[in-house]
Amino acid sequence: APSAIMAEGSGSGGSGRGPSCPGAASAFRRWEQLRRRAATPWARGLLAVAAGLGLLYAVLRVPVRLRDGLAAVTVFLGTLTPKFYFALTVTSSFISGLIFVFEWWHFRKYGTSFIEQVSVSHLRPLIGGAENSPPAPAAFSAGENETSRQNMPECKVWRNPLNLFRGAEYSRYMWVTGKEPLTYYDMNLSAQDHQTFFTCDTDALRPSDTVMQKAWRERNPQARIKAAHQALELNNDCATAYVLLAEEEATTIVDAEKYFKQALKAGEMIYRRSQNCHSQSPQHEAQLRRDTNVLVYVKRRLAMCARRLGRIREAVKMMRDLMKEFPLLSMLNIHENLLEALLELQAYADVQAVLAKYDDISLPKSAAICYTAALLKARAVSERFSPETASKRGLSTAEINAVEAIHRAVEFNPHVPKYLLEMKSLVLPPEHILKRGDSEAVAYAFFHLQHWKRIEGALNLLHCTWEGTFRMIPYPLEKGHLFYPYPSCTETADRELLPTFHEVSVYPQKELPFFIHFTAGLCSFSAMLALLTHQFPELMVIFAKA
């Protein structure tokens, strides 16, 4: 014992690991003994048996609790009456019906599912979807944004070459129907056009032009008209003031023509004066460009007034003279006004001559050019065309050319045939159009439907062949046949250009989102359960309890 104690003391003092008092030494020895005994095989087996018994108890206890909970639920369901089940199914059907109606309205107006949009934009970041795509370094963000902006398809809005007169046509429509035919976006684009065409840097030197510069920025039509009269009080030869009064104050085409004739007289005088001094300074060159724009605009609107009043030949002559005098202004698409007037005269040879000049691969296409070319080729065969006869003997060369021309036109703008075939109702065309969009289709059909009706069999040929175009371009957003792929941004722009009471034509048709199908099915299923519960209450209660 003394030697053990000495060994213990030397061990504790030498190594520093042992206890420092006799009580701690005894506890430490007991722990060492227990550890050595637990390391034996029989002790390990005993611990494994105890753990197994605990696990078995847990496994057997959980189903007992589940059975007790299920029994409580069964007792609760057994106390429910048929009225409760009927109220439950009716409420479920009503709520799902409201969700379905809202989803359908949101899809018809915005083209997307509201639930899907909320899930992607709000719930996905919370779940962690945004963590998978870390943000790019700030040094490259600007360049990447610029690249993505360049890759996005551009939907350029063009001024409608056949736009109506605000006071004499658009306003009269609003007075009669109580509906606003022009959108705020469309009128805002027109205000920007007027400021670009009818103002210049030297306007501050002339009080009347200064007043008109403010008038073009006014949103209130009465304020614009009042400013135009103020400009005429300052200068009786202010051409732009007459233009504004002709567009907005005149309530008939006759009154508008009178104002435009006064504008023409003042505009020609100012234009000659600007020609004499345009080389003196850059400011004078800018003034000459402005005066040229005013003169071309006035002459074009005078030709359109003559066309409206039935003086077709006079209108054609004015348009031809205007195109010869200012050949560089082809971007104004005056040839489309000429095409429509020549079709009214049924001068098809002259129409073909105009198409030969402007239906060129280097020039931007339009629905007026493509569909007029198709109309001329259809005119040669439409009178004798019969689908039954063509299916038996096959198509002739002239018929094949006509069908190909129709397919070409439909590929460029697939919205037009429904208006020409009167499958969709027309509205007044907007002041701006989107090429290949529904707005361009409305503008074309509004003026050219009568020309298609005048040629016997032309609409019948269109009706029989236009849908065949879509078999050649099954994926129009990815690949075109004769033109570039159809732009995917037309629907949004057309909704801003066309009035809200017009149902915008969408191509290609979008499939209904999943949540519309889901809510419709849920509403129908709940309504069916409610009806069965009302008709067979006892049977449905037994079914629910089972």
396-444 per-position pLDDT tens digit:
888 899 999 999 999 999 999 999 999 999 999 999 999 999 999 999 9
Per-residue pLDDT, averaged over 522-532, amounts to: 80
- How far apart CA 318 and CA 306 sit, in angstroms, is 9
Q: What does the block give as tokens for 409?
A: 């036109």
Q: Are residues 372 and 484 located together in one domain of the fold?
A: yes
Exposed, middle or buried, 378 (CB in 10 Å: 0-12/13-18/19+)?
buried
Per-residue pLDDT, averaged over 268-290, amounts to: 81
Residue 4 lies in a domain: no
Q: Are residues 507 and 520 located together in one domain of the fold?
A: no
Residue 217 lies in a domain: yes
pLDDT category at 540 given cuts 50, 70, 90 is confident
Please report the pLDDT score of residue 173 as a whole number. Answer: 92
Q: Residue 198 above 60 pLDDT?
A: yes
Question: What pTM value is reported for the model?
Answer: 0.68
pLDDT category at 32 given cuts 50, 70, 90 is confident
Cis peptide leading into 508, omega within 30 of 0?
Answer: yes
Q: Residue 140 above 50 pLDDT?
A: no
Q: How many CA atoms lie within 13 A of 60 on its CB side?
A: 6
Q: What is the CATH number of the domain that holds 313?
A: 1.25.40.10
Bigger pLDDT: 468 vs 266: 266
Closest CA to 219 of 245, 184, 249: 184
Q: Are residues 191 and 340 located together in one domain of the fold?
A: yes
Q: Are residues 376 and 397 located together in one domain of the fold?
A: yes
Please report the pLDDT score of residue 362 as a whole number. Answer: 63
Q: Are residues 518 and 507 located together in one domain of the fold?
A: no
Q: Residue 14 above 70 pLDDT?
A: no
Q: Residue 448 above 90 pLDDT?
A: yes
DSSP 424: S
Residue 27 lies in a domain: no
Which residues constitute the domain of residue 403?
A: 355-511
Q: What does the block give as tokens for 499?
A: 């009035």
pLDDT category at 148 given cuts 50, 70, 90 is very low
Residue 70 lies in a domain: no
pLDDT category at 1 given cuts 50, 70, 90 is very low
pLDDT by residue (tens digit) across 363-390?
678 999 999 999 999 998 888 888 778 7
What total number of domains does the chain contain?
Answer: 3
Q: Are residues 263 and 339 located together in one domain of the fold?
A: yes
Residue 124 lies in a domain: no
Residue 227 lies in a domain: yes
Q: Residue 150 above 50 pLDDT?
A: no
Contact between 516 and 116 under an 8 Å Cβ cutoff? The reply is no
- Give percent above pLDDT 70 in the chain: 77
Q: Are residues 315 and 368 located together in one domain of the fold?
A: no
Q: Are residues 485 and 532 located together in one domain of the fold?
A: no
Per-residue pLDDT, averaged over 512-541, amounts to: 76
Closest CA to 401 of 421, 383, 378: 378
Please report the pLDDT score of residue 455 as a whole number. Answer: 92
Q: Residue 129 above 50 pLDDT?
A: no
pLDDT category at 79 given cuts 50, 70, 90 is low
- How far apart CA 284 and CA 531 sit, in angstroms, is 81
- How far apart CA 339 and CA 372 sit, in angstroms, is 8
Please report the pLDDT score of residue 64 as a whole number. Answer: 65
Q: What does the block give as tokens for 535?
A: 């008709």
Q: Which residues of 273-289 are buried (b: 16+ CB within 10 A; e: fewer)?
A: ebeeebeeeeebebbbe
Residue that finishes a domain, picked among 345, 373, 398: 345
Q: Are residues 466 and 320 located together in one domain of the fold?
A: no
Q: Are residues 312 and 301 located together in one domain of the fold?
A: yes
Per-residue pLDDT, averaged over 80-84, amounts to: 71
Q: Are residues 398 and 254 located together in one domain of the fold?
A: no
- Give percent above pLDDT 90 in the chain: 40
Closest CA to 193 of 239, 142, 258, 244: 244
Q: Are residues 361 and 320 located together in one domain of the fold?
A: no
Please report the pLDDT score of residue 112 as a whole number. Answer: 66
* Cα 260 from chain centre: 37
Contact between 532 and 133 under an 8 Å Cβ cutoff? The reply is no
Closest CA to 476 of 510, 521, 432: 510
Residue that finishes a domain, picked among 345, 367, 394: 345
Close Cβ partners of 320 (under 8 Å, ≥ 6 residues apart) = 338
Residue 136 lies in a domain: no
Please report the pLDDT score of residue 337 as a whole number. Answer: 93
Q: Residue 15 above 90 pLDDT?
A: no
Bridge partners for 434 per DSSP: 157
Close Cβ partners of 206 (under 8 Å, ≥ 6 residues apart) = 235
- Looking at beta carbons, which pairs linking 271-277 to residues 24 or more positions away fall under 8 Å? 271/295
Residue 50 lies in a domain: no
